[in-house]
Every structure is written in C-alpha cells, then in structure tokens.
Chain A
Amino acid sequence: MIRRLVRRLGSALLVLWAVATLTFVIADLLPSDPARMIAGPTARAADVARIRAQIGADRPLAVRYGLYLRHLVHVTEPAAAAAANKTEHADCASFGPLHLDLGHSYTQRKPVVAVLADRAPRSLLLAVGAVTVQLFVGLLAGLLAAFRPRSWLDRTTIAATVVGTSVPTYLIGLTLQYALGHRLHLLPLDGFGRTDGEHLVSLILPALTLGIFGAAYYARLVRDDLLAAMRQDFVRTARAKGASRLRTLLHHALRTTLVPVLTVVGLELGALVGGAVVVETLFRWPGIGALAVSSLLDHDGPLILGITLTTSACIVMSNLVVDAMYVLLDPRMRRAS
C-alpha cells in the first residue's frame, strides 16, 4: 500500500512538472514586454533595457526555462539566506529551508506568492461554503427521496435533479442575484464585505450558486445508491431481524454511499479553489478565480503562471488525497493492493 502511494506521489510530481512547463511556455508566448511592464509606461528606453537585462528577459529560452525551474522550488539554509543578498529571495515564500518562488507580479507590484496567499483563503472559504451547501441539501434530498421511493417527493426530487444538473452555474447565479438581491433586497448583490459578518452574508449567494449543481448531483447519486443498497441481502436480514425501515436506511445503507460521496467532495474542493472563475467574477468575490481573468486581460505573466500552477497543484493534490482516503475507507481496496 505504501509503495502504491509513493508511486502515485511520483506520478503527481511528474504531472506538476509538466503543468509548470506548459504554463511557462504559455506565459512566454504572451504578447507583452515584461521589462516595459515593470518599468512602467513612461520609462525611458535605456531604463527598460536595463531592467530587461536585470530580470534576464533577454536570455535564450532554455536559460530562462532553467532559471524559472530553479527559482520555483529551491532549498536554502536559513542562516545562509539571511546572510545572502536579501533581494534574491525577496519573492520567495519560505517554509523552513524550502523556498517557493513564483515571481513578481507586474500589475500588483508584489510577489506572486503574496498575492496568492492573500486571495487563496477567500476562495477556500467559498469552496467550503459551496461544499457544505451541496452536502447538506444533496444528502437530505437523496435520503428523503429514497425513504419513500416513487412518492411525489421522490418524483419532484428527480425532476429537480434533472434541472439542477443541466443549468449552467452562472445562470443560477444570475437568477439568484436577480431574485434575492435585486427584487427582494434580502442579500447583497455582490462583493465581499468589510467585517466578518458581512463576509458570511456575502458568502450566501455565491455558495448557493456553486452548491446547487453539486446538490442535485449528490441527491441523485445518494438516492440511486441507497435504493440499490436497500435491495441487498444484508438489508433484508436487518429488516428480518426487526429493524425499522428508517434504521436500515440510516444505519446500514447510508454507509455504502458515503465513500463515493466523500471522494467527490474531495475532488470538488480541489477543483473549486482555483476554478470557480465565472462565479467569482459574477459576484465580485476576491478570490483566485476572479484574479485569473483580470491578470490575463492585463497580460501579467508571472501572475497567470502562478494561478495556473496553483490551481493545477490543488487539483492534483486533491486527487492524491482522495485516492489515499479511498484506500483507507474501503477495506476491499486495502486488501487488493
């Protein structure tokens, strides 16, 4: 089992390296002059040339790629870093001896790692909110539907899941924004708010928007899995021994559905952290997704690189975690490996 996990880790690292290379190539193709962007629009040509030499933008492609990889992740002794040139490690995020350097953002004039560290918790908050909505609504709806199959509740739930999984997320967002924000004035239209309370209130609409699709999906998944489990022999035995329908549903059948649901939760969390581009833009939520669009329109190469890399890293890591979790939760997988 350990060997299998180690192999997966190695494969994940390889994927991360490939993504880093891909994003480097893309950022290199951007039609903009990084030296000009750093210097500013009113700088003289001599200054621009000087900065270009300084950041190494005039070196050949292979050299730049090598420098980029070397800066990305490097290990330095803490004492040596303090003694060495401070500016060399100015853009690094340091975890002990391990340094992570994603470059310097042109438009925000800060290290990319600082910008991302600023924004990531908000995207995480949104992701957690969305997954909470999905789990609660989805599980509850699926349970209720499976409790009384073919009742009107069941049929309504199925119809709702069909609708919920076909509507694009931002359409749901626009509709909710119009209904709850514009018409009924219950919730703020967009934005993040200033206090913690305002943060939570502003979280409701985007989290609901992102959550409805997932809730519909989970409801259907849970309902189908529960009904399939209820037909199994072990449930019939429990019923024969006198357990009520409700108890067999909750105590026996629900466990079989938890593993697939949890794996999807893990994958969703990973994908939502950087990938909720449209919803974050729609609700002006200051997360990583909204930053992606603006940094692209501003041709901010290092920031784009950083965002793409971070997003992919989150997805890869969540895949890894979900894989490991699956092996831990499902004893059959443990024996198989």
Chain B
Amino acid sequence: MNEPGITRASLKGRPGARLSLRILAVLAVLALCAELVASPLPWIGRVDGQLYVLPDVFTPAALVGVSRADLERRASQPGGERDFAFGPPVHFGPYDPDLAADGTPRLREAPSARHLFGTDSHGRDVFARVLYGTRVELSAAVVAVTAQLLLGAVLGALAGFVGGIFDVIVTRTIEALTAVPLLLLLVVVQALLTHPTLSTLLMAYAATRWTEVARLVRVEVMRVSQSDYVLAARALGATPLRVLVHHIVPNARAPLLVAASLGVTDLVLAEASLDFLGVGVPPILATWGEVLSEARHHAEAWWLLLYPGLALFLTLLLLYRIGDAFRDVLDPERRSYLDEARPDRPGT
C-alpha cells in the first residue's frame, strides 16, 4: 500500500510552484542549448567558400578558436564574397576575449548594444558567461544530488532496516560528519587536490552530504517497518528483501524528494560560494560565482555584480519555491524534517 506522492493534481492549487517548475524547465533548456544562443560560430554559414551547418555541434577543425570578428574579416577579403554567417543572437562565447581594433581586449566595458551585459576583467562577454554558467550550475546540481540520494538512501535504508550495530555506526558517522560545516569541508577537499575540477567537487559533496538523506530515509524506514501492512506481509511469509522492495522503498520516496530539493539548493549555493572564493572549478569555466568574484575587486563594474547575482538569486528562489511546495504536499506537519533551522547552510 503506497501513500500518495506528488501528482500534477496536488500541485494544482499552488500556481507559484507550477510557474517555478516551468521557469526551471526553460532554464534547463537554455542551459542545454547555450551554444545556439551565444556563440561566435554561426548556425549556418559559409567561410572561405566552404559551407558549415551547426559548427558548434560538429566542431570542424577549420573553425576552432575562431571569433566572429575573424569571420567578418575573412568575408571582407577577396574570395569571400559569397561568405555569410547566419548566427546566434549573441556573437560571443564565454571563453574568448573580445578584441578591439588595435588588438587589446575590451576589459570591463559597461553594457552596450555590442555586449548586452558588458564584459569582464578578461574581456569576455558577461551575457555568454552567465548563460553558460546556467549549464554548470544545473548539471552540477543534478549529478551531485543523484549521487547523494543513492548513497544516502542505501545507507539510511540499511541502517533503518537492519538496525543493531550497523545502525549505531551509521548514526554516529552522520553525527560526526554533520559537525563540520559543509563549506569548510568542501574547501578542504578542493584545496588539497592537485587538480580540483567540478567532478571532484561533486564527489566530495556527495560523499559528505549523504548524511541528510540517510537520516530522513532511516526514520521513514523505521516508521514504515512498524506499520500494519508490513507486519502482515512478514506474517504471511514475505522475505525481508521483498518487504524492502515492495513496501518500504515506495514509501521512502517522499523524504527522498524533499531531500533532493533541499540538496539541489544547497549545492548551487555551496558551488557558487566556492567559485567566489576561487577554490571551486578552474576559473576558465564560466560560472556565476566566478564573475561575482571579479565584481568584488572592481566595485565600479556593477554589471559584474548585477547579472550573475540576479541569475543566482532567481535560480535559488525557484528552487526554494519548488522545494517548499514538495514539502507542503508530502509532509505538511514537517514531522520528518529534523533540521529546519539550518544554521550551517552553505554560503555564509
């Protein structure tokens, strides 16, 4: 017997949550197709007489590292009369600095018609960096939270189901890991690796924050194990494995979803903070935290603060709304949600 989960109907009375989900879906699509919105390479174009279609997808060798200015220059040379480039709305990618006519990069230019959100300290287009940053944030969140859920669900379910000394060990480990603040732990791990990348960051997050998921799942598993239908199933001769799979796992879905929504927001926050500090991903990657860290040193370049800040704020707002809606539907009395106060939220 399964308890009701989240259905479309249950979110019907919450227009805020549905709108948030829709906006988040749009953001995810934007993140996937970032090259189609902002890239130096066109959707379709002819360069030096050769026709290229979607070069961002197929990456032909001749167009590697080429900027839009290069393409325009080649078209204006003899032999390039039939050259054209029909391209994305924004002609800049997140990695290449925009050079002025004399070859110097356009550093920290205010927003203009050429650069919608201005340029950063290396001359790179901020709009492109914010857009590509969406990709990093969302994909990081999905990957890390999946790993966290798997690890936490397995350990929590085992602890709740098997009990005994295993349960004690798991609970004590959870307490010890929770005593260290998340940001400090992540900073430690990233700083001691010689080549910290996004993947190492995500693995570190999953390896230390499975504790929250495990806590929720363990409580839920213990609660469900005592319920009548499970006892009846055991009395009828069901093996523990069957009970686990058929009865306990479907009912543990609720706290998993709640923990997932919380985990995603925590991770986005933590990752942005680490990028801001400079110990997250390599700074060449376009993330919001990285642009914000430049804003710190150049206070007059307000566009370095406003646009990534808005993006970060909006994303977190969306995620919190969705998480709140999930919690309202699945757990109205907040009975399984133990650490509401969250004084050690990442990002302080």
Contacts and interface: CB of A to CB of B under 8 A. Distances in A.
A49 interface: no
A218 B210 CA distance: 28
11 contacts: A15-B176, A26-B192, A31-B194, A162-B317, A168-B312, A169-B348, A171-B292, A182-B299, A271-B348, A274-B181, A277-B273
B299 A278 contact: no
Nearest to B173: A18
Given A170-B276, A182-B300, A304 B188 contact: yes
Nearest to A173: B296
Contact of A278 (B175, B273, B343, B344): B273
Interface in A240-298: 263-264, 267-268, 270-272, 274-279, 281-282, 292-293, 296-297
B98 to A, nearest CB: 25
Given A278-B347, A293-B279, A19 B180 contact: yes
Chain A contact patch, size range: 35 or more
Contact of A267 (B296, B309, B341): B341
B162 interface: no
Contacts of B345: 213
Given A167-B313, A168-B273, A278 B348 contact: yes
A68 B162 CA distance: 35
B279 A296 contact: yes
Given A19-B180, A282-B296, A175 B348 contact: no
B191 interface: yes
A234 interface: no
B183 interface: yes
B194 A171 contact: no
B320 A165 contact: yes
Contacts of A202: none
Contacts of B180: 19, 22, 308, 311-312, 315
B264 interface: no
Contacts of B320: 165-166
Given A174-B305, A296-B192, 12 more contacts: A18-B172, A166-B313, A168-B312, A171-B309, A175-B305, A268-B343, A274-B184, A275-B184, A292-B184, A296-B187, A299-B192, A315-B344
Nearest to A217: B341
Interface in A211-235: 213, 217
Contacts of A271: 181, 343-344, 348
